[in-house]
Each structure stands twice: as structure tokens, then as C-alpha cells.
Chain A
Amino acid sequence: MTSIDVRNLTKEYRGRQVTRAVDGLTFRVEPGRVTGFLGPNGAGKSTTMRLVLGLDRPTSGTATVGGRPYVTLAEPLRAVGALLDAQAAHPSRTGRNHLRLLAASNGLPERRVAEVLDETGLADAAGRRIRTYSLGMRQRLGIAAALLGDPGVLMLDEPANGLDPEGIVWIRGLLRRLAAEGRTVLVSSHLMNETSAFADHLVVLGRGRLLADVPTRDFIDAHSQDRVRVRTGDPVRLRAVLRAKGWTVGEAPDGDGRWVVEGASAEEIGAATAREGIPVFELAGERASLEQAYLALTAEAAQFTTRTAASPAASPQEV
């Protein structure tokens, strides 16, 4: 089966200063699983996808699909289906004509147009002009275009963007099914929780560089620490006992007498307090949010960090 191979890929834009949108990127997207392509806005996800499709030219490095540069593929829609920008369609065309002309260019049979319209739930809207479509419908049309050639590789840039909750459930199921059929599926997003719900593997970018290329399970295990919340009648002894075992205890943020033990499971704390006879009123294990782990990973590489500047209007003025 076909994989996407990105090797030492670099893309620089020359303006007043040279900006590196993609910086020495190397990774491979394997068939048979959904790969989540993560990173904050401006991390280089869309640029990488455009480079794979030959729409942008790399400054150096290569990107291939099944070992061949995309531009050398004879009928590329049969090999790779891509959704880059759901807005990228002429608004005066009908959805059906948009798909018809794409199908015609790659010698795809006309019936594929009807099939993908059905599959994406657009059959009723196919005769309407794209300008009348909602964002979610445009997104579905973009996905329909990607599926047109029944390709072995799918590359979708933020496909859930603008979809309603029902649509999000639909797209998750579709991505899982496409991967289960043995296809290579690369899906970009800037939301970790959303992506971890359907991706088997994660490729994380920050400032154009590769930050992680790991199975989703491993990422979750490595980056989201266990912790335990405990409410006790004897915090002093609890602290002493846990400290002796190498755990640190801090007061929970809500500060209503609960204590938080980082890096421990509820079973371990339960056993320890029982042995020492410390009264425990409440005991709950929880995991630090995956989103937080992801934000921590990308924080130093973040392009656009939010700064809270004092507003001039709020500062007192001296007269």
C-alpha cells in the first residue's frame, strides 16, 4: 500500500526576512491507520500538505506518495484525495458541476459523482450553487471531492471545521472506515482532544519542526500523568506518609480540603492510607488533560503566544 514520505522538507518564504514555514521535516504516514497531524496555527501543517501535492515548491527536501512525487502521478485523484480548503471552489458553480469537472479531468466515470454526493449527504443540494452552501456543506463537498477517485491516500486539512456535532460523528466514522479499508489517512487539526478520539498515530508540528511522531496511546501514556484527589481528616499525617514514599502532596486548586497527589494511582494511595490508618473520606483518580500535555509540548514552539498587555485605557492617568 502507499504511504506518504516526507524527507528533510524545508520551505522558506522570502519577504523582508526569510521565514521557515517548514523546517527540515521528516516523517512517514503509514497505510491502514488514521494519522493525526497536529500543531498550533502557523505550525506548517497546511504548507506541508501543499508541498506534498506539488502546489508549493519546497526550498529543499522531498515529499512523495507511494515513492513518487505527486506531480508525476498519471491520474492523481485516483491515488490521493485531498481536502485543503473547503472554500476553494468557484462559488457560482453547482456542487455537482464542481465534482463533474474534477472527475472529467482524471477520466473518472460520471457515476462516481453521484456516489460521493450520496456518501457525503449532499445529493439534495447538488444542483445548488456553492455560494448558497453553509460552511459544513462546503466541507462535505470538499470531502466528496477527495473521495471521488476512490484513492488509497487521503489528506484532509481540518475536515471537521464547520461541521455540526452530527457531522463530526460522521467524519470520525468515515475516517475510521477509510483506515480500516487499508488506506493511508492524514488528518490535520489544531485540537488534541478531538484528534485523539479517532487517530491511531500522531505527528505533532511546532514552528515547522517535528515535535512528536508517536502512536496516540504512547503519547497519552507519556504526556498525561495520573494523579489522585484525596480528602482526609488528617492532612498532616497524610502528607508525612506520602512524602516518605516519594510522592508530593499539594492542596487542590479549589481548596475545599482536598489534596492532590501527582503521579499516583487511586489504588496506591488507597493501600498506603489504609496501612497507616489515615481516615479517607474521598479518593478519586484522574488524568491530567491531554490537551494540557499537548499545549505544554507546543508551548515553546508556539508561533502566536497570547500576551496579556495592560490596556492603556485601564491605567490611571496623571493630570
Chain B
Amino acid sequence: MSATAVLRSEWIKIWSVRSVAGPLVAVLVSALAIALVTFPNIGREQAATEELDPLFWLYYPLNFVQIAAIAFGATAASSEYLNGALRNSLAAVPRRGLFYGAKALVVGALALAVGVVSGFVMFFTANAFLGEYAIGIGEPGALRSCFGAGLYLALIALFSMGLAFLLRSAVAVLSLLVPFILIVSFVVVGFSEGVAAWLPDRAGQQILYQEHTGPLGPWTGIGVTALWAGAALLAGWWAVRRRDV
């Protein structure tokens, strides 16, 4: 059984279910839409504030965009648990490592591709409304941040996919990760700056900053998020490997 055949099958799986393809499209659409709503109104005013990293400010829409990435990873996995669809999948591809690896690769690659495009979309859309606060693509960290946003979104999608295979439910993953990213992460910052820096969202977002004051730089930060994603993928793999379906 060839890996390309299994990859093709996983590709069809994603594009043939609206609840999976939808969130992926929503990554790009929300990146543009939220940038268009935010920056013409409060873009310059916020860019003028001292304590805000000027590069990171361009990626303000990412706060919402990453929820779409979470939903994409979660539904790509949980669609296998709807009505026991996994039984069909594993009867067709009984080598579970091949099945799981192909799904992770397709989910990761799609999230990366759409994420990178979204990164550039956020960067240029925001800059269009910032006037004298605009940042050129040639400035330090600018190009890195565009690709970095895509990398970050791909890792978050994989993190979510791994958890969804473990918990067998997109609802469980969304109700775990969305409050975590929107609330818990901010609360932990209040308690301890040191711990918060190592959380999957905070660490990876370092790649979007111009100045690095915390313990992690842009690449070590995204590396920490990659470790989180790797751990979640391993946990999901452990569940797929040993469970009867």
C-alpha cells in the first residue's frame, strides 16, 4: 500500500466534509475579515502605544484565527469517530501508523499552507491602515513573522488533532482549548510570567515579536509549541494504536 494513495484518501476526506473544510477556509477568511475590521479603526491608535510590540500588533487577528485552526485539527480527527467511520478507514488502511501519519501530514500541510497565506494577509492588511506606523516586509523579523504565523497555526492544528484522537470528540477539544487560549493563558500570565511563557500559545507566538524579553526567542518559542504538538500527537497515536474500534 503506497503512502501517496493513503495521502490522497485523507485529502478527499478533508475536502468532502463541510465541517472539516469549513474551519480551514475560515482561517484565511477570518484573518482578512478581522484585520479589515480592526486596523482601520484602532490600528494606529494602538500602534502608537509604547508597551505594544509593533510587529506582534499586526497579528492581532491571530487570537481568533487560531480558534479556526483548532477547530480544523479537531474536526479532521473527530470526523473519524462519527458513526464509527474509523472502522471503514482502518479496514481500508489497516496499518494504523500509516493511517495516522498520513492524516497528520495532510492536516499539518494544509494548515501550514493556509496559515502562511493568512500570515501574509494579516501582515499586509494591517500595514495598509497603519500610515507612519507601517512595517516594511524587509524590516527585521517581518518575513519571519509571516511564515511564523503559518507555522504556528499548523502546530496548533496538529496539537488539536492529537487531543481529538485521544478524546474522540471535537466538542471536548474545543471546550478545552478555546477557554484555555482565551482565558487561562491570560490568567496564568497574571500569576507567573515565567510559567506562561512556556504555554503552547504564548511560546509559539514569540515568532511574531520584534523584541524578545522573556526566556524564549522566536525559534526556541516555536520549538516549545512544536513539542506540545508532538506530545499531543503521540498521545493521540497511543489511543489509535491500542484501542479496539
Asked if A and B bind, the verdict is yes
Chain A residues in the interface with B (C-beta under 8 A): 50, 53-57, 70-71, 73-77, 82, 84-85, 87-94, 97-98, 100-102, 104-107, 145
Complex contact A106–B1 (CB within 8 A): yes
Complex contact A102–B92 (CB within 8 A): yes
B29: chain A residues at CB < 8 Å are none
**Distance between Cα atoms of A187 and B143 in the complex (Å):** 61
Distance to closest chain B CB from A120 (angstroms):
16
* Known A54-B94, A76-B91, A106-B5; further 10 A-B contacts with Cβ < 8 A: A50-B87, A84-B87, A85-B87, A87-B83, A88-B84, A90-B82, A93-B16, A101-B13, A105-B92, A107-B5
Across the interface, A93 reaches (CB within 8 A) one of B5, B6, B17, namely B17
Complex contact B84–A101 (CB within 8 A): no
Q: Name the CB-closest residue of B to A85.
A: B84
B83-99 interface (Cβ within 8 A of A): 83-85, 87-95
**Distance between Cα atoms of A100 and B16 in the complex (Å):** 10
B127: chain A residues at CB < 8 Å are none
**Distance between Cα atoms of A218 and B148 in the complex (Å):** 72
Q: Name the CB-closest residue of B to A82.
A: B91
Q: Name the CB-closest residue of A to B89.
A: A105
A97: chain B residues at CB < 8 Å are 12, 16
Complex contact B92–A106 (CB within 8 A): yes
A54: chain B residues at CB < 8 Å are 90, 94
- Majority-rule SS of B interface residues: helix
Complex contact A107–B84 (CB within 8 A): no
Complex contact A102–B9 (CB within 8 A): yes
Complex contact A90–B84 (CB within 8 A): no
Chain B residues in the interface with A (C-beta under 8 A): 1-2, 5-6, 8-9, 12-13, 16-19, 79, 82-85, 87-95, 244-245
**Distance between Cα atoms of A111 and B17 in the complex (Å):** 22
**Distance between Cα atoms of A105 and B244 in the complex (Å):** 21
A73: chain B residues at CB < 8 Å are 94
B79: chain A residues at CB < 8 Å are 90
**Distance between Cα atoms of A224 and B82 in the complex (Å):** 44
Complex contact A101–B9 (CB within 8 A): yes
Q: Name the CB-closest residue of A to B12.
A: A101
**Distance between Cα atoms of A102 and B1 in the complex (Å):** 13
Complex contact A104–B5 (CB within 8 A): yes
Complex contact B92–A71 (CB within 8 A): no
Complex contact B9–A55 (CB within 8 A): no
**Distance between Cα atoms of A141 and B86 in the complex (Å):** 16
Complex contact B94–A91 (CB within 8 A): no
Distance to closest chain B CB from A317 (angstroms):
47
**Distance between Cα atoms of A100 and B89 in the complex (Å):** 12
Complex contact B5–A92 (CB within 8 A): no
Q: Given the interface contacts A100-B12, A101-B9, A101-B12, does A91 sit within 8 Å of B92 by beta carbon?
A: no
Q: Given the interface contacts A70-B94, A93-B16, A97-B12, does A107 sit within 8 Å of B1 by beta carbon?
A: yes
B12: chain A residues at CB < 8 Å are 97, 100-101, 104
B13: chain A residues at CB < 8 Å are 101
